[in-house]
Structure 1
């Protein structure tokens, strides 16, 4: 298994663990008041902002730990360059990831059109962000295994 495949698997697993553990942490704090209360908007705003920061920091830390463990176990360095195949795979992963997020964004806006509570919009946005992250990792793994 190549470095890129291992990195994609670690990224996929870490995205699932980070999102799942953060949701389990935040679920008990869900406000019980009215669906359109100011507290609800504050909750979802903090949910998204804190999830973004926690996710970025956790991914950086996990990437550093992965590189250290990879170097210790294989006695190889991380590849210092990315060739055309790496760039093409990265572009396809970003394209698929953005497509999934934009689709989720459109569904979230559509939920407002059909008079769903604002909580539904926030849930769709958060879930589509998570699914887009997973889609990008799966796309990279698929293309590194099967080719372009």
Structure 2
């Protein structure tokens, strides 16, 4: 298995663990009361903002740990360059990820048009971000295994 495949697998599992762990951490903090209260908007706003920051920091830390572990176990350095295949696979992964996130964003805005609670919009946005991140990792793994 190549470095890129291993990195994609680590990214896939870390995305799932970060998202599930953060959701389990934030679920008990959900405010009671009405669906459209100020506390509810504050909760969902902080949920999205903190999830974004936490995810970025956690991915950086996991990437550093992965590179250290990879170097220790294989006695090889991680590749310091990207060839055309790596760039093409990265672009395909970005395309798929971006398409899914924009679709989720439009779906979230559509939920407001059809008078759904604002919580539905936040949940759809959060899930769209999660699914788009998974799709990017899965696309990379698929193309590194099967080719372009």
Query: Smaller-chain TM-score range?
Result: over 0.9
Deviations 1:5-44 (A, max 9, x none): 0000000000000000000000001111101100000000
Secondary structure, aligned partner of 1:31: coil
Deviations 1:69-124 (A, max 9, x none): 00000000000100000000000000000000001001100100110000000000
TM-score, structure 2 as length reference: 0.99
Alpha-carbon distance in structure 1 between the residues aligned to 2:65 and 2:43: 32
Structure 2 unaligned regions, length at least 5: none
- Report what 1:132 is aligned to: 132
Structure 1 unaligned regions, length at least 5: none
Deviation at 1:52, TM superposition (A): 0.5
Aligned length: 148
Alpha-carbon distance in structure 1 between the residues aligned to 2:30 and 2:12: 27
Alpha-carbon distance in structure 2 between the residues aligned to 1:87 and 1:126: 27
Q: Report runs of 4+ in structure 1 exceeding 6 Å deviation.
A: none
